[in-house]
Structure 1
Amino acid sequence: MFDIVASIVLYNNDKSIEDAIKSFINTDLRIRLVLIDNSPTDKLKYLASDSKIEYIFNNNNVGFGAGHNIGILKYINLCKYYLVLNPDIVFNKGVLEKLCSYIEPRKDIGILSPKVLYMDGSLQYVCRKLPTPVDFFAKRLIPSLFKKRIESYEFRDKDYNQTMNVPFISGCFMFIRSEALKKVGLFDEKIFMYTEDIDLSRRINKYYKNIYYPEVFIYHGYARESATNFKLLLIAIKSSLYYFSKWGWFFDKERQSLNMTAGKIYE
């Protein structure tokens, strides 16, 4: 039985992925890292140079959520916690141990998120409410016209040094109780990329709490590619259309209910 199994989905990654790998395997916990490679060739297989690492080559870009599902399906019954990890994340030794120590006795927590910093040490506002269509499209297309609304959506009016309830945990680092995944299921594979973390967060949040825990921090080389790459922007829009069609556009009572607890201090 592993304490933590993590997966990273790869697609023609550069050498920065090596820092994420080193961060995760630098622990005395019982771990396994699964590299899910969606690249057109298996040139990244050299990354699995440690016995703690497993490399799976898809020979097909199946998407973010579907890629992680490969690892989850294989190890869900073999670990206490499952970590969905981005390839541009780095953190110090001890982070995983602290997350395990915090979540272990708190059985009501389904997903735990640390404080997330940019590489220069400044804060990333990763705490989010479940988005309305206005929140989602305004943030990507015309953020300057909806500044106050976006600030509320990202909890910028809250104290990011407080442990709090967060309906939507960013997919860059989702530390998930395995029992929660068994209860609600895996990532929705109809979503190729960009809203799969919102979908999974809200499904888990129906039965557990999603908690932001700022006593632990990580670094995220956030690129926000959908804002500059037209192809990725189209993928984001397509994913959002599916997401809102699934859960409701402007009449989503569950979204309203889960957002009512958003930002409340967790003790």
Structure 2
Amino acid sequence: MIRERLMQRQVLLVIVAYHPSEEEVTRLSNCLAQLSPRIGYAVVSNDHRSGEPVEALRFGADCFLVNRNNPGYGRAINQVAASLPREGPLPELIGALNTDLAWQQGTFEKLLDWLLQHPDVSVAVPQLVDPQGVVQLLCKQNPTVLGLFSRRFIPEQLKPDWLKRYDQWYMMANRDYNSISEVPYLSGCCMLMRTKDFLAAGGFDDRFFLYLEDADITRSLGAYGRALHLPVASIIHHWGRGNHRSWKLTLVNFHSVWLYFSKWGWKVW
């Protein structure tokens, strides 16, 4: 960690990379280059291979960590948090970001300014939209067995009306996505967390390799302050639903489901 740079930062964005394409890295690099000095970034490259495109992000980064294996999303962010200096000022906020994001200049500055004025907020996620500008409905109720099973395994055309209504409730689909509101389960693709609360909570639970680590950290941080959907600014999310295409990732998802309910209690619906 470059201490001199870090002393300027009010936000440290932590980007977890897993073999992003050159196109994805270029898009992300262009956005990162527009950040003000108040906002820095760190990169963790999981399962890193020498010469891959993500290395282009090294030169502007406050920290660039390489994992030769893949420890998972939350654990990668914890690695950066563990490297923060134990003396001196820390960034007010730490961000958890995917590589499949893009934003307009000033976006994170706007989010930062709002959160500085609302210190009771422990975690927030901006408005997430697809490349066409359509709002992605990524706010959720706390996980339930039925909610997870329905969305993963039951085709929409086979669902009875009651289950469709349940899905709408679980996905908070009828809420106003243009208003600020408290949400039990925020998406981890672009999450801003109060650093002191993140450290007090112990960071991400290392047992979650992937999936539901965002549900878990939202719930953990909720003990320290509010968890908000914060549409004062928008982020473009080029979303890839990997676990719906890979049986290996589906098994990882099952493991995360088991961990989550074992920790927080089983809730069927």
Which of 243, 246, 254 does residue 237 from structure 1 map onto?
Answer: 254
Contact 1:76 1:178 in 2 (8 A): no
Contact 1:31 1:52 in 2 (8 A): no
Distance in 1 between the 2:85 and 2:151 partners? 34
Task: Report the counterpart of residue 208 of structure 1 in structure 2.
Answer: 225
Name stretches of at least 5 consecutive residues in structure 1 with no aligned partner. Answer: 257-267
Q: Secondary structure at the match of 2:10?
A: strand
Distance in 2 between the 1:104 and 1:212 partners? 16
Task: Report the counterpart of residue 261 of structure 1 in structure 2.
Answer: none
Q: Secondary structure at the match of 1:111?
A: strand
Is 2:117 aligned against 1:105? yes
Task: Report the counterpart of residue 61 of structure 1 in structure 2.
Answer: 70
C-alpha offsets along residues 86-120 of structure 1, whole Å, 9 cap, x if unaligned?
Answer: 10010011111111111112111011111100111
Greater displacement, 92-101 / 1-10: 1-10
Task: Report the counterpart of residue 4 of structure 2 in structure 1.
Answer: none
TM-score relative to the length of structure 1: 0.88
Q: Secondary structure at the match of 1:112?
A: strand
Which of 32, 42, 46 does residue 38 from structure 1 map onto?
Answer: 46
C-alpha offsets along residues 57-98 of structure 1, whole Å, 9 cap, x if unaligned?
Answer: 111111111111111222376311101001001001111111
Contact 1:132 1:250 in 2 (8 A): yes
Distance in 1 between the 2:92 and 2:262 partners? 33
Q: Secondary structure at the match of 1:43?
A: coil
Which of 124, 129, 148 does residue 141 from structure 2 map onto?
Answer: 129
Contact 1:91 1:219 in 2 (8 A): yes
Give 1:215 shift: 2.2
Is 2:166 aligned against 1:157? no
Q: Secondary structure at the match of 1:201?
A: helix
Is 2:248 aligned against 1:227? no
Dislocated runs of 4+, deviation >6 Å: none
Is 2:6 aligned against 1:9? no
- The root-mean-square deviation of aligned C-alpha atoms, in Å, is 1.8
Distance in 1 between the 2:50 and 2:218 partners? 31
Which of 65, 71, 79 does residue 70 from structure 1 map onto?
Answer: 79
Identity of aligned residues (%): 27
Give 1:143 shift: 5.1
Task: Report the counterpart of residue 21 of structure 1 in structure 2.
Answer: 29
TM-score relative to the length of structure 2: 0.88
